[in-house]
Amino acid sequence: MHDGATKPRVLLVEDDRELAGMLAELLADEGYETDAAHDGQRGLHLGLTGRYDVMIIDRRLPVLDGLELLARLRAQAVTTRVLVLSALGELADRVGGLDAGADDYLVKPFEAEELLARLRALGRRDLEGAECLPLGAAALDLQRHEVVLPRGERITLSGREFELLRTLAQRPKAIHPRASLRTNVFADSTGESIVDTYVYYLRRKLGRDVVRTVHGLGYQLGAV
Amino acid sequence: MHDGATKPRVLLVEDDRELAGMLAELLADEGYETDAAHDGQRGLHLGLTGRYDVMIIDRRLPVLDGLELLARLRAQAVTTRVLVLSALGELADRVGGLDAGADDYLVKPFEAEELLARLRALGRRDLEGAECLPLGAAALDLQRHEVVLPRGERITLSGREFELLRTLAQRPKAIHPRASLRTNVFADSTGESIVDTYVYYLRRKLGRDVVRTVHGLGYQLGAV
DNA sequence: GTTGCTTCTGAGCCTTTTCTGAGATCTCCG
DNA sequence: CGGAGATCTCAGAAAAGGCTCAGAAGCAAC
């Protein structure tokens, strides 16, 4: 399950299985946790249901084309950074990709190093390449699943507590509806109040103000 | 050069397969156990996951250049001695290689005897230098497979116990997932709890705090 | 062969985490 | 104010994760 939950998670959508395998190995060495899909349909499914820090999407895909996939994801308000791979280097395609909502564009063949550099850049853009997410005056240690208080005290979180807080902290100003938290953090578990329960746990450990309730809309990150 | 029981392990990263084959044979004759990689990517993978006493890396490599590979290994806190091979004898390259963290540099073509001499020298240097890993107030004697307590008392570890503790001590701040310990130390043995068992053995010999449990994530080096 | 150590497996038990649901409390709005 | 729906709190069951250990199997030295 979520063994290395602290690792940045990558969704790789690439139909060339040999290339996909190499990339997966490369990414694993680099400390990423990778899910792979070999066609657009599957990619869409994973992209909508999983939580990823970055996505790498090939432009040409069977079943559902890469740009089409990207557009669909964006239509569903998936804001994850996306790096599009393409065998076509022409300007037109490049523009098309960026138009469709890609954050970066890489032309095949490419150096492994360049891919990694671009991934890091995307991560940095998202403040996720960092080891910690800011939490008001405190910080969330992504490696250790701990909250570091200003005075240096550490409070360890369980896996789910961590996932929830991390999700909130990734977009600190956003209001996160229960439904999306339930989907992203709790894999649509059947209980209706699972999110409430974990908000309760977080508040019990970190104080009432970690999470703010926006009545009727959802939850938002507060301050510790 | 190394303690008699186990052969010294060499990682050879060389894209010229003919040369690689010859070197592997030479090294085998000389009592080394050799893993070979033919491109930088594969070399990086092996270098990060395997344990080697020395690495021989060609400067020019496909996919991931030799110096880049070296820098990457160093960045991941791999401290193994590295001998860089190069067809280019110019000063600039020499400096580049040493900059990138090489311990020695050998220009092609070279005599077999010279390579062996330099390997022995690197082995020796390893003995002089960091022959102990710090373990809080104590230390892990890499030659004798013993833990040296602050008061000078020595506790002998079995082979597996040593490998496990060494792996943890090599990256003392990292959290090591069970799965990776299982792969690296126990060659993916079938039992699920092999890592737990050896953690238990270490704790029994060295006290509860040698190894810290990070629930759901893995183990981390503690203090003795 | 016997002795002694190491390695590995798996069973049993304990702890922590996860999930569910039900009652108490709160908020909004008429 | 009062009711409906939303939110909070929490206890307890189930599942997952972790610890301890006994014993079998392997290996090396005597």
Q: How far apart are CA A142 and CA B25, in angstroms?
A: 46
Provide the phi-psi class of A218: left if phi over 0, else alpha when psi is between -120 and 50, else beta. Answer: left
- Chain D: nucleotides below 7 Å from protein CB are 6-11, 16-22
Nearest CB neighbour to B41, from listed A112, A144, A158: A112
Residue B130 has pLDDT above 70, yes or no: no
- Quick one: pLDDT at residue A89? 52
- Is the model's pLDDT at B211 over the cut of 70? yes
CA distance A43 to A81: 15
The pLDDT assigned to B98 comes to: 57
D17 C1' – A3 CA distance, angstroms?
Answer: 11
Q: What angle do CA B109, B110, B112 make, to 5 degrees?
A: 135
Question: Is A114 touching B (CB cutoff 8 A)?
Answer: no
Which residues of chain B are within 8 Å of residue A112 when distances are taken between CB atoms?
41, 63-64
Q: Which residue is nearest to nucleotide C10 (CA to C1')?
A: B191
Amino acid found at A29: D
In the block, which residue shows the tokens 């052969």? B7
**Rounded Cα distance, A122 and A206, in Å:** 30
Binned at pLDDT 50, 70 and 90, residue A126 comes out as very low
Selecting from B64, B68, B177 the residue whose C-beta is nearest the C-beta of A3 gives: B177
Q: What is the DSSP letter of A47?
A: H
Q: pLDDT at position B94, please?
A: 53
Tell me if chain B has a CB within 8 Å of the CB of A158.
yes
| Site from B214, B220, B221 to mutate, A interface, most A CB atoms within 10 angstroms | B214
Residues 133-192 of chain A sitting with CB below 7 angstroms of strand D: 178
Whether the model clears a pTM of 0.75, i.e. scores above it, the answer is: no
Give A220's strand partners: A212
Comparing A200 with A120, the larger pLDDT belongs to A200
**Residue of B38, B178, B217 to mutate for A, most A C-beta atoms under 10 A:** B217
Do the Cβ atoms of A22 and B41 come within 8 Å? yes
Give the list of residues 6+ apart from residue B28 with CB closer than 8 angstroms, or none: B34
Which of B175, B178, B216 is facing A143, going by the closest CB pair? B175
pLDDT exceeds cutoff 80 at A20:
yes
B18 has which bridge partners? none
Residues A90, A98: Cα–Cα separation, whole Å: 13
Better-predicted residue by pLDDT, B90 or A101: A101
Predicted confidence band of residue A80 (pLDDT cuts 50, 70, 90)? confident
State the average pLDDT over residues B103-130. 69
- Using the predicted structure, report yes or no on whether residue B96 has a pLDDT greater than 80: no
Tokens encoding A197: 């329960």
Q: What is the mean pLDDT of residues B33-58?
A: 88
**Cβ proximity of B103 and B124 under 8 Å:** no
As a whole number, the mean pLDDT across chain B is 82
pLDDT at B105: 73
Segment among A111-115, A186-190, B50-54 with least mean pLDDT: A111-115
**What values do phi and psi take at B176, rounded to 5?**
-100, 115
| Orientation angle between helical segments A194-206 and A159-170, nearest 10 degrees | 90
Q: What is the pLDDT of residues B18-28, one digit of tens each?
A: 999 999 999 98
pLDDT at residue B3 in the model: 37
Please write the tens of the pLDDT for every residue from B182-196: 988 998 778 889 999
**Rounded-to-10 torsion of CA B34, B38, B41, B46:** -10
What integer is the mean pLDDT of A95-114? 66
